[in-house]
Amino acid sequence: MKALITGASSGIGRDMARVLSQMGYSLILVARRRERLEELQGELRTEVQIICADLSKEQACFDLYEQVKAEQIDILVNNAGFGMFGAFHETDMKRELNMIRVNIIAVHILTKLFLLDFKKRNSGMILNVASSAAFLPGPLLGAYYATKSYVLRLTEAIYEELRRE
């Protein structure tokens, strides 16, 4: 069994790697920070492949998929993401757009590509990590809350489509 985890260098992604390794999964860990991935790799019991990628770049998402599509991945954990704090009219536009690329576009691309494979073989699971922020308006975190709402709603929509097949 094999799982691919984005945003694996810290937080929920790192903890998911620990849990899945304890369950016996081989792992493909994806993040920008190689040194953190290597540190995590050293503490895990199962086989771990490290891929450094900046998922704010669309092409990096497609490249990641191409790099691992021949693997028998059983679980995709779309966890990469970040937030930014501040009044909407004061936050940095470039950083916000980068957040939208990571929190929405990367999730969208990877979900679509892996779902197509999982459907072909009638096997596989996708965990799209959102947040309680997906359910609420978020003053001073408006764009972040909106990105997490997208992740939640996309995931729910896909679930309903698959459930009805």
User: Which residues, in sequence order, are CB contacts of 115 under 8 Å at separation 6+?
Assistant: 124, 126, 158
Catalytic-role residue among 25, 144, 145, 150: 144
User: Which residues, in sequence order, are CB contacts of 93 under 8 Å at separation 6+?
Assistant: none
Active site residue 144: yes
Place of tokens 């490249």: 63
The beta strands (E) that lie in 59-123 are given as: 75-78
Q: What is the rounded CA–CA span in Å between residue 92 and residue 82?
A: 14
Q: What is the DSSP string of 6-60?
A: ESTTSHHHHHHHHHHHHTT-EEEEEES-HHHHHHHHHH-SS-EEEEE--TTSHHH
End-to-end CA distance of the chain: 26
Residues paired with residue 48 on neighbouring β-strands, in sequence order: 27
Q: Which residues are catalytic?
A: 144
